[in-house]
Amino acid sequence: MASLKELSTKQEGLVGGHRLCAGCGAPIAVRQILLASEYPVVVSSATGCLEVATTIFPYTSWDVPFVHSAFENTAATVSGIEACYRSFVRQGKTDKKIKFIAFGGDGGTYDIGLQALSGALERGHDFLYVCYDNGAYMNTGIQRSSATPRGAATTTTPAGTAVPGKQQHRKNLTEICAAHGIAYAAQSTAGRWQDLTKKAAKAIEVDGPAFLNVLAPCPRGWRYPTPDLLSICKLAHDTCYWPLYEIEDGKYTISYKPKEKLPIEDFLKPQGRFRHLMAPGNEGLIAQLQADVDSEWERLLRLAGE
């Protein structure tokens, strides 16, 4: 893994001047992933916060070849780019080693982009797909997605007297992708650079499809103070709400185990989207969330042989 000093000397793939919100996890994750690559990269990005705020005509914050795709098909777009590259290699038009990275939010990945992603993984294209998971359709108004955690308030699952936020458990996309038989899938966060850059470097090195699910908090949708981004990420993995692990050729490895597993309430309290859960009478909802987290953590420990 490259040191912080080594990473700081590399050319940035995503530069300043973008319009993403202060306190957003997405640009931090993208910068770290691009810095982790030892190869030239071509990037495809789904319509979403990342694309909208980094490509405001006539400007761009991308200092790598960049293709904007529709909301639902960035995996299909990057598949076509990668197939074209392989054709050029076969024809002797290039011998340059190039890697391909697709970025999508959870709305464009968990939901309307899942078909394109599944197809690209099944076909075996050589690319890395990165989901910057902020837990809702943030760019279009903070609507719930299948990545939204149980109990969270969104504009389509508002917390009120009838319904206390989203009622369903979030989808486990990392393992859905791993179930395609790909060589590498992992989870990380925008707030733990050593873990993220190490996993990104592994994923980029893979010959074939790889998948990274990166927790990228959103200050607008999660309703936390801008400076709290990194502490929110830390609480996510210290409560085991967002376990840090990787699956290499089917083998599970937990890359971070908290010395003291914190209660899920510590992750919920700083976020306005869960404020209603702190009101008297909602203790059962917090207990349900804790049970969800505990069950998933114990399952991961078993899969990792721990």
CATH number at residue 221: 3.40.50.970
Distance CA 48, CA 139 (A): 6
Residue-wise pLDDT for 106-141, tens only, equals: 999 999 999 999 999 999 999 999 999 999 999 999
Distance CA 159, CA 256 (A): 33
CB–CB of 17/59 below 8 Å?
yes
Judged against a pLDDT cut of 80, whether residue 208 lies above it is answered with yes
pLDDT of residue 10: 87
pLDDT of residue 4: 80
Encoding tokens for residue 2? Answer: 């490259």
Distance CA 268, CA 198 (A): 28
Q: Do the strands 184-189 and 245-248 form a parallel or antiparallel pair, or are they unpaired?
A: antiparallel
Judged against a pLDDT cut of 80, whether residue 166 lies above it is answered with yes
| Sheet hosting strand 251-254, strand order edge to edge | 66-68, 41-45, 99-105, 128-133, 210-215, 184-189, 245-248, 251-254
CB–CB of 139/105 below 8 Å?
yes
Please tell me the total count of domains within the chain.
1
Looking at residues 131-160, what average pLDDT do you find?
96
pLDDT of residue 3: 82
State which residues form the domain around 62: 4-303
Judged against a pLDDT cut of 70, whether residue 1 lies above it is answered with no
Mean pLDDT of the chain: 96
